[in-house]
Amino acid sequence: MLTRALSVASLLLIVSQGTNAQRLKKADKAVIANLEAHISYLADDKLEGRRAGTNGEKLASEYISKQFELAGLNPKGSDKWLQPFEINEGRQVNPSTLFIINDHDLKLNTDFFPLAFSPNTSVDAAVTMALAEKDVPWFLDLKNMLEDNKENPHFDIEAAIKEKAIKMASKGATALVLYNTSSIKDNLKFNGKDRVAAAPIPVVYLTPKAMKDHLKDESASYDIKIRVDIGNKTRTGHNVIGYLDNGAPQTIVLGAHFDHLGYGEDGNSMVPNVKNQIHNGADDNASGTAALIELARLIKASKNKNNNYLFIAFSAEELGLNGSKYFTQNPTIDLKTVNYMINMDMVGRLNDSSKVLTVGGYGTSPVWGELFSGFTSKTTPLTFKFDSSGTGPSDHTSFYRMDIPVLFFFTGLHTDYHKPSDDFNKINYTGEFYVIKLIENLVTASNLKGRLAFTKTRETQTTTSARFSVTLGIMPDYSFSGSGVRVDGVSDNRPAQKAGLKAGDVITQLGAHSISSVEGYMQALSKFKKGESTTVKFNRGKESLEASVQF
């Protein structure tokens, strides 16, 4: 890149920004002041990072409802302005789970824990550890298993234990109690994200401390009571939905997610091992939420009556587009009447020199090209970077999958992305105003276009490939709650497509690794190198299929 060419270009752009800044009218300045008010509230520490299902999310949803009401919208959720939905967080060990040895009540987590594939059941028996008798719990020292597989990078200890449990159950064991006398770490824990099918008997791990305190003598008889109670862990997220009904046959959906990372509890912070730090998410995505509120005001005041308008602030986007997926599966208007969807995610960091706005979904309707050709340097200071794909890492993807034309607006990544430093004082408010004006003009220009035609586009690769040397080329469905990884989409000419996988398939095994969750899938992938091949097992409807893949 030529430095000289760059500096000349930015000089010219600075000049053009100067003239545009002078042209701001009183009403425009009011929009900018409103944006500052919305974002400084939504990104305040008081809202604790607006994590879906928390009090911070509730405060934000109340603010957005109030602003929608002030803008003159009508509530269009399932519960007034709100549309509550359940977020599956995996599973948890319920407190009634117990392990009693000779009347000593062991402490959950410090002394013992069940493995996630344990069925919920109770066992009560007199046991001698050294004897494997029928109808009593059996004991297994993990020592041999760990030593035998010390050099095996593909060793999956949980799968090996499960296999043992199945064998022991067939020989009469009613539970499997694990302990580890070797110096090799087993790294076992209760993994609530694990969704493998249950083993026939409960498998409970005893810590070295519990072994030393309560089971010293291999030949003594012990009274043992085990109860396993594992339940679903859920929390409730809330979309906020307002409607502008013009009595038109079709409706334009405008959306932006308002949730963010909270304190990073869901493991989606870019700061490793972050604790007690609020991720305010000013750009991601208080900026889009503020734009949504301002567009509601501007569109309510406009003369464009050929469409109705539905404004949705989505929750749980950060967990895998959960809010928008829930809405498209449980819409509060007839989805067949949706004309198109506009998504704003991170629109607050316009670069003042380049003024580049990324526009995704450009290929989802032939009309987008026509409408954008109407923008000139006289009508907007923005320059556009077009991406034709209807999919991407935000909520428009959910609408594209329902064959609805979409546009996705985004001012670009920055070093504060998913960090506690994404704060309101770093927002380019005037830049965001230009984005809002552009969208308002676009909506106005579409008023006479009637119903927009939909076109399918290529899929965007959204796997975080940096951590892996190989990928399958699928988009996992992060909201899937069954066992395995459900495929949401398959990229062209990638290993998964070549192996014949399709959207809707549920991947259950990759090579020697059984796969129960997206996390497990990621772990399995990290064990392969480019050029290697393996087999993938997956379910399609009721069929179990197998194919070979080459990375």
What does the binding site for Zn ion look like in residue numbers (CB under 5 A)?
A: 284
Name the residue with tokens 């999919």.
Answer: 391
Between 158 and 284, name the residue whose CB sits nearer to Zn ion.
Answer: 284
Q: How far is the CB of 64 from Zn ion (least distance, A)?
A: 17
Q: Which residue is nearest to Zn ion (CB)?
A: 284
User: Given the complex with Zn ion, which of 244 and 435 has the nearer CB atom?
Assistant: 435
- Is the CB of 284 or the CB of 432 nearer to Zn ion? 284
CA 467 to chain centre: 18
**Contact (CB, 8 A) for 241 and 81:** yes
Nearest-approach distance from CB 55 to Zn ion, in angstroms: 20
Rounded to a whole number of angstroms, the minimum distance from the CB of residue 48 to Zn ion is 16
- Closest separation between CB of residue 8 and Zn ion, Å? 35
Note every long-range contact of 431-434, with CB atoms under 8 Å and residues 24 or more positions apart, other chains counting: 431/348, 431/349, 431/350, 431/351, 431/352, 431/355, 432/35, 432/287, 432/290, 432/291, 432/347, 432/348, 432/350, 433/24, 433/28, 433/31, 433/32, 433/35, 434/20, 434/350, 434/355, 434/380, 434/381, 434/382
Given a contact cutoff of 8 angstroms between Cβ atoms, the answer to whether 537 and 507 are in contact is yes
Q: Tell me the closest approach of the beta carbon of residue 259 to Zn ion, in angstroms.
A: 9
Residue 222 is inside which H or E element, if any? strand 221-227
Whether 324 and 255 have beta carbons less than 8 Å apart is answered as yes
Nearer to Zn ion, 111 or 284 (CB): 284
Residue closer to Zn ion by CB (options 49, 381) is 49
Other Cβ atoms closer than 10 A to 44:
18
Cβ(357)–Cβ(438) below 8 Å: yes
Q: How far is CA 61 from CA 53, 58, 65, 158, 332, in A?
A: 11, 5, 6, 41, 18
Do residues 195 and 484 make contact, with C-beta atoms less than 8 angstroms apart?
A: yes
Nearer to Zn ion, 319 or 443 (CB): 319
Query: Which of 426/527 has CB closer to Zn ion?
Result: 426
Question: What are phi and psi for residue 460, nearest 5 degrees?
Answer: -85, 140
Largest CA distance in the chain: 89
- Considering the complex, what minimum distance in angstroms separates the CB of residue 417 from Zn ion? 7
Nearest distance in Å: CB 436, Zn ion: 20
CA distance 482 to 184: 33
Whole-number Å distance between alpha carbons of 56 and 38 = 15
Q: Shortest Cβ distance from residue 318 to Zn ion (Å)?
A: 5
> Which residue, 284 or 294, is less far from Zn ion as judged by CB?
284
DSSP letter at 115?
Answer: -
Nearer to Zn ion by Cβ, of 284 and 488: the residue is 284
The one-letter amino acid code at 7 reads S
**Backbone phi, then psi, for 498, in 5-degree steps?**
-65, -30
Residue with smaller CB distance to Zn ion, 261 or 338: 261
43, two tokens? 């990104």
Per the CB < 8 A criterion, the answer to whether 487 and 501 are in contact is: yes
